[in-house]
Amino acid sequence: MCETHVEAAVRAELLMAQIEIKEIKRKCGNEKDCPQYYYAFKIISGAANVVGPSICFEDQILMSGVRNNIGPGINIALINANNGSLLKTANFNMYSGDVKPLIAFIENLNEGTLLLISSYDDPATKLDTKARELLTSYGSSYAKTLGFRDSWVFVGGKGLKDKSPFEQYLKNEKEKNKYDGWPEVLEMEGCIPKKM
């Protein structure tokens, strides 16, 4: 069966559209590409206590409801900043859980370890002074004031000299909340230098 000129033109157009779509796709679905020596990331906080958070790093979903490795509280992915490899992930329930496992998880990190953090439901009720100080030492500006049901996403690191530029925070305020009892979802994306 011979292909008509119209069919050939349509097929060529579809092929070009597929090529354009592939070119437009960026790591983690971000709006902009990252420079050569940077890692792409996207972190989305949970929505109230209904939709869980997600953490994407270099186009790999590290934590999400689909991966079944998230939960209420604080969700953390640890990354080796030198090579971009995932070290481990964990979830810590800060409403009905214990803060000690969280402290043990983040206390003795190696220099050059990235922390990608997303809140879900309540990230703060069980946080004590030690946990807040640890998170602050990794570059957080809001760890000390984080409260009940606040929304929070954060990228920090062991060995970070200044405050992290990658942090978003919304206070749980009845008058301003998007959801009944919870602030709206936070979505943060960006590019992290490969050597901190």
**Residue 196: predicted pLDDT:** 55
Q: What residues of the chain score a pLDDT lower than 50?
A: 21-22
**Residue 16: predicted pLDDT:** 58
**Residue 107: predicted pLDDT:** 94
**Residue 143: predicted pLDDT:** 95
Give the number of C-alpha atoms closer than 13 A to the C-alpha of residue 46, restricted to the C-beta side. 26
Query: Rounded to whole angstroms, how far apart are CA atoms 7 and 117?
Result: 50
3-state DSSP call for residue 82?
coil
3-state DSSP call for residue 151?
strand
Contact status, residue 138 vs residue 157, Cβ threshold 8 Å = yes
Give the number of C-alpha atoms closer than 13 A to the C-alpha of residue 90, restricted to the C-beta side. 14
131-152 as b/e, with b when 16 or more CB fall inside 10 Å? Answer: bbebbeebbbebbeebbebbbb
Whether this prediction's pTM lies above 0.75 is answered by yes
Contact status, residue 92 vs residue 101, Cβ threshold 8 Å = yes
Contact status, residue 142 vs residue 131, Cβ threshold 8 Å = no
